[in-house]
Amino acid sequence: MARMAGTAALAEKLLDVAVVSTTSVAGGDICTTTRLRLTDGRSGVIKTRPQAPAGFFTTEAEGLRRLRAAGGVRVPEVLAANDECIILAWVEPTKPSVDLAESFGRGLAAMHASGIGGFGAEHDGWIGLAPLPNRPSPTWEEFYASRRVMPYVKAAADRGSLSLEQARVIEQVMKRLPSLTPDPEPPSLLHGDLWSGNLVWSTEGVHVVDPAAHGGHRETDLAMLALFGAPHLQRILDAYHEAAPLQDGWLDRVPLHQLHPLLVHAVMFGGAYGARAAAAAQSLLDGAA
């Protein structure tokens, strides 16, 4: 196989192992992903991006290590990371199955139950290339409104992806947030960007990648998983609920937890995402009327 000289040299410098071959990996529009075959018999995957923001890859590595240490879900081993790249152990993909979905749902419940010190994280991060404020807040409602939704309401409005009227609807939901949420729960360790593209189905189990790890509400990960769909989604949700029952009405709150990712997409891609966010907010107001 062809050997991408620059990528191979970067990996060899970090791993202190020679690269036999490199192969491009499809998927993702933020980073270039390349499979590595090493002389010690291992395979890895390296992600690179020219002029990535400072701390972009090391923050990802920290999140992966945190999730891996918590247990519950499978997480690829981080082999190396610096400001230029991150290198992970290769996970051989397989076809999604009901059994793998069930195991993942139970594992996700266990990861959430492992807990974290508070709502937020030690430092800010990214969701895709979008900034992710993480300064801790005493309650989830305050954290979600001030660190997730409202910064992106402003950004989407400034970009022209959200009208003033649509922004006001979302602001109304944030003002009524305490009445829309169930009894308080302790913060859960979240993946933070749990859409189907960040799941790698393998014979060993479902692995998660590309986290935006932080302390938050566990329903957020489930709502994100449902936003764009996932293989055997219902079995994942059922297995989760069997392992760690969710509070009554959690399905009605899915639009609430989807507000942030919809606003992120409105900022990054425009299109109809702003309208979708406003519609989700309106459905919450109508349901509470």
Q: Measuring CA to CA, which residue among 77, 75, 73 is closest to residue 105?
A: 73
Contact 232/101 with Cβ under 8 angstroms?
A: yes
Q: Measuring CA to CA, which residue among 102, 86, 105, 121 is closest to residue 14?
A: 86
Residue 104 tokens read as: 């993942």
| pLDDT at residue 2, as a whole number | 47
- Domain extents in the chain: 5-89, 98-288
- CATH class given for the domain over 5-89: alpha beta
- CB count, 10 Å around CB of 44? 21
Rg of the Cα atoms in the chain:
20
Q: Buried b vs exposed e over 200-224: b needs ≥16 C-beta within 10 Å? A: bbbeeebbbbbbbbbbbbbbbbbbb
| pLDDT at residue 55, as a whole number | 94
- CB count, 10 Å around CB of 228? 11
pLDDT (tens digit per residue) in 217-256: 999 999 999 999 999 999 999 999 999 999 999 999 999 9
Rounded Cα–Cα distance for residues 271 and 162 (Å): 10
Q: What's this model's pTM, rounded to 2 decimal places?
A: 0.95
* 5-89 and 98-288: identical CATH topology: no
Rounded Cα–Cα distance for residues 233 and 206 (Å): 13
Q: For the chain, which residues score pLDDT lower than 70? A: 1-3
| pLDDT at residue 201, as a whole number | 98
Residues assigned a catalytic role: 193
What CATH topology corresponds to 98-288? Aminoglycoside 3'-phosphotransferase; Chain: A, domain 2 (3.90.1200)
Contact 67/189 with Cβ under 8 angstroms?
A: yes
